[in-house]
């Protein structure tokens, strides 16, 4: 039986909570916006049978600190580099879901020395399209309504009802569970403030405003697999196909029937795909190869730029 160890470290004066499990090659799991390490629980148990799994709560999320500060992709990427440094982990296979996929790509871009492989799960940062709900929450002044939209009494009562339904066998939807966790986390004022700063760093009324598409050629040196649910209603699966075409040698795994949380909705298949990916690839060439790609690249005229 795999034991999940809930631990914490202090980085730059801020408490960072993380889950650690297993032994072997290191996998870093990065959750999405309004999420936490809990989203990876079932996947962690499977992956930790042959790997060391590190699943942090990003700053501003879960049980980690929620300071006033920078919540951009770059800031999160630097924070994860520092977490690996504190844990004396030189390199890891980096797995990112949704917003965490954007962080994973930024980590590989800013700190290639830390990254051996890349796994993008329904990743953000690959095109402007995103759900209307996130665009609406990014509207100027929308935060004034959040105490009404996300009241604590609804969270508390809803969690109580959800647990009862789960015990009675009437609720067995991982997707609904993940959506509820995200919603209920916003009932607390510190979480809402951190969520707002995070959301507005990547989304406005037009959609996603940060794109990695013009830099994906740099992932050619790094083994990459892209995982998406074909029913995703948050970020369209078309982004996965586009990223697959843009990253030479990448793999694409489409989970039929899965929505925006394929790792939680189909954890056994997710573990199988990632474990096979780890076993069948060798770590990327490192910063020297990255440098060669950077200086030799000549963009084609159809490469999209940041909006």
Give tens-digit pLDDT for 202-260: 999 999 999 999 888 888 789 999 999 999 999 999 999 999 999 989 999 999 999 99
pLDDT of 164 > 90? The answer is no
Q: Is 260 a catalytic residue?
A: yes
pLDDT of 38 > 60? The answer is yes
Taking residue 161's Cβ as centre, other Cβ atoms within 10 Å add up to 11
Q: Which of 72, 98, 123, 184 is catalytic?
A: 98
Cα separation, 48 vs 180, in Å, equals 26
Element (H, E) at 233: none
List the 92-97 sheet strands across, edge first: 5-11, 14-21, 52-56, 26-30, 92-97, 115-121, 224-229, 251-255
Tell me the percentage of the chain whose pLDDT exceeds 90.
64
Residue 294, token pair as written in the block: 């950077």
Of 122, 124, 126, 119, residue with least CA distance to 134: 124
What does the pLDDT read at residue 218? 80
What does the pLDDT read at residue 231? 95
Residues 6+ apart with CB under 8 A from 201: 71, 72, 73, 210
Pairing of strands 14-21, 52-56: antiparallel
Give tens-digit pLDDT for 168-208: 554 455 766 776 676 677 777 788 888 889 999 999 999 99
Give tens-digit pLDDT for 51-62: 999 999 999 999
What does the pLDDT read at residue 157? 46
Residue 128, token pair as written in the block: 């402007």
The pLDDT-based confidence of 289 (bands split at 50, 70, 90) is: low
Q: Report DSSP state, residue 70.
A: -
Q: Is 232 a catalytic residue?
A: yes
Q: Which of 61, 76, 244, 260 is catalytic?
A: 260
Taking residue 250's Cβ as centre, other Cβ atoms within 10 Å add up to 20
Q: Which of 61, 72, 182, 232 is catalytic?
A: 232
Cα separation, 257 vs 263, in Å, equals 12
Q: Is 131 a catalytic residue?
A: no
Average pLDDT of the residues in 126-151 = 80
Q: Report DSSP state, residue 306.
A: P
Give tens-digit pLDDT for 101-117: 999 999 999 999 999 99
Residues 6+ apart with CB under 8 A from 30: 56, 58, 76, 80, 94, 95, 96, 97, 100, 101, 103, 104
């Amino acid at each position: 039986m795999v034991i999940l160890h809930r631990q914490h470290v202090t980085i730059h004066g801020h408490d960072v909570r993380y889950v650690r499990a297993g032994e072997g090659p290191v996998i870093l799991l990065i959750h999405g916006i309004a999420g936490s390490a809990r989203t990876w629980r079932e996947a962690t148990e499977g992956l930790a049978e042959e790997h060391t799994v590190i699943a942090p709560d990003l700053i501003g999320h879960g049980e980690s600190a929620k300071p006033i500060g920078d919540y951009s992709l770059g800031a999160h990427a630097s924070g994860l580099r520092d977490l690996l440094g504190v844990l004396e982990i030189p390199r890891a296979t980096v797995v990112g879901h949704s917003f965490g996929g954007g962080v994973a790509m930024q980590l590989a871009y800013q700190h290639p020395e830390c990254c051996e492989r890349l796994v993008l799960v329904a990743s953000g940062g690959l095109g402007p399209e995103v759900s209307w709900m996130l665009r609406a929450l990014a509207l100027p002044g929308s935060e004034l309504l959040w105490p009404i939209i996300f009241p604590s009494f609804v969270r508390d009562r809803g969690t109580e009802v959800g647990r009862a339904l789960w015990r009675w066998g009437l609720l067995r939807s991982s997707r609904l569970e993940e959506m509820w966790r995200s919603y209920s986390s916003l009932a607390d004022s510190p979480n809402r403030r951190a969520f707002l700063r995070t959301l507005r760093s990547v989304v406005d009324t037009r959609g996603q405003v940060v794109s990695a598409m013009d830099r994906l050629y740099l992932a050619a040196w790094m083994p990459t697999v892209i995982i998406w649910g074909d029913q995703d209603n948050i970020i369209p699966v078309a982004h996965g196909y586009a990223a697959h075409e843009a990253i030479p040698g990448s793999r694409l795994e489409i989970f039929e029937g899965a929505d925006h949380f394929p790792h939680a909705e189909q954890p056994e298949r997710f573990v199988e795909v990632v474990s096979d990916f780890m076993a069948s690839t060798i770590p990327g060439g490192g910063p020297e190869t990255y440098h060669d790609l950077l200086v030799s690249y000549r963009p084609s005229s159809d490469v999209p730029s940041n909006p």
